[in-house]
Amino acid sequence: QSVLTQPPSASGTPGQRVTISCSGSSSNIGSNSVNWIQHLPGTAPKLLVYSNNQRPSGVPDRFSGSKSGTSASLAISGLQSEDEADYYCAAWDDRLDGPVFGTGTKVTVL
């Protein structure tokens, strides 16, 4: 069972900005950094953002992450067709002593 809560879907037209929220608690987002993972079903998941707002090499700066208290968000600006995928937030949970994932958000490019 996912510990972090995300909206099931989000959508936008090419070029628009889309924001995905992730809600947690004091034991996970409230005390640890938030990370975002992009996943196209049938392919290898890809780390998109780590440590709240850091992008691995090769990830476009169209993707940006932020965190405030026990919530976080991922923004995709200049939406492109290849951004159509599932997006998961993830964080370490001190109470569980292990990582937890969000429920996932399916982004559709209209």
Partner 1 sequence: EVQLVESGGGLVQPGGSLRLSCAASEFSFDNYAMNWVRQAPGKGLEWVSTISGSGHTTNYADSVRGRFTISRDNTKNTLYLQMNSLRGEDTAVYYCAKGRAYYYGSGTWPPDYWGQGTLVRVSS
Per CB under 8 A, residues contacting partner 1 are: 2, 32, 35, 37, 39, 43-47, 50, 56, 86, 88, 90-92, 94, 97-104
Q: How far is the CB of 14 from partner 1 (least distance, A)?
A: 26
- The nearest distance, CB 13 to partner 1, in angstroms, is 26
92 - beta bridge partners?
Answer: 99
Contact partners, residue 99, CB within 8 Å, separation at least 6? 90, 91, 92, 93
- Measured between alpha carbons, how far is 99 from 84 in angstroms, rounded to an integer? 25
Give min distance, CB of 5 to partner 1, in A: 11
Written as six digits, the tokens of 87 are: 């997006």
